[in-house]
Amino acid sequence: MTRRSWIGWQFTGPFLAVFTLVFLAPIAYAAYLSVFRTRLVGGTTFVGLENYTKALEDPQFWEALGRVSLFLVVQVPIMLGLALLVALAIDSGRLHGAGFFRIAIFLPYAVPAVVAAVMWGFLYGTRFGLVGNFNEAFGVTLPDPLAPDLILASIGNIVTWEFIGYNMLILYSGLRVVDTALYEAAAIDGAGQFRIIRAIKLPALRGPLVVATVFSIIGSFQLFNEPQILDTLAPNSITTYFTPNLYAYQLSFAGQQINYSATIALIMGVATTVVAYLFQRRTMRGIS
């Protein structure tokens, strides 16, 4: 190999080394763990695909997967819809203080997820938080946001509050690259704002919307921080298998079932990759 051929490897080598160390190696080790089982009596033995069979027959895993799937189907469209409205409002040029609103809406994304979950958890409290203070001040009884039947919606509110600004920035960036001459030509032809949005802005946002949705799909399947933090405030609402990631965490650190935990994590990794890929392939078809 010539000296010139080594130049590319010198640039990509550090990345490939870090990528292998922090991404490929953990996946390979998890795959290795998933084909073994550790027992108190008998030690560690090779079991092949038994852990995967067990996971696919585990009702707790399927309940957790169904919960995050419902979260994905409901929360993601609401979050992206609100982010789209905000991006369109800021890009319209008719919003006074657009710079301030852009920063204010993006600011929650800078708040760590743990801090956001703790903050909202105390706001939700019926005995010590904003909901409880509202009930006491007005003599009413609002529904408990931390109740089992509302906890998923409450978590969805936290995640939406955290990531509207992030998705708004993706969509707003997509709007800023649109040639302003298209807007001027449409205005000369008599097109109103809603016509411009429908005919120019929304088609231009197809790519950014796909990117934001793919990120949101991955984030939904990885849901962990919010339920894990709220578990201390609502132990009767957050089960040990509330989400697949929380289930894998509890299996590993509380149940000492490291092999089975690795299996759950790998299945979720594959499922997330497949869903995100199929969505991207279907929606990006026809985009140049």
Six-digit token pair at 173? 């960036």
What single-letter DSSP state applies at residue 231? Answer: T
Is residue 37 helix, strand or coil? strand
Bridge partners (DSSP) of residue 46 are 36
Q: Which residues contact 226 (CB under 8 A, 6 or more apart)?
A: 113, 116, 117, 155, 158, 159
Report the chain (288 residues): mean pLDDT per 10 consecutive residues: 69 89 92 87 82 94 96 96 93 81 90 91 86 85 90 95 94 89 82 84 91 94 93 88 94 88 94 93 72
The CA distance from 210 to 183, in Å, is: 23
| pLDDT at position 279 | 92
Looking at the whole model, is its pTM more than 0.75?
yes
Looking at residue 99, what is its pLDDT? 82
What residue has token string 């298998």? 241
Sign of CA dihedral 225, 227, 228, 233: positive
Angle at 278 between CA 274 and CA 281, to 5 degrees: 135
Q: Which of 144, 131, 120, 127 is nearest to 226 (CA)?
A: 120
Q: What is the pLDDT of residue 2?
A: 59
pLDDT for the residue 269? 93
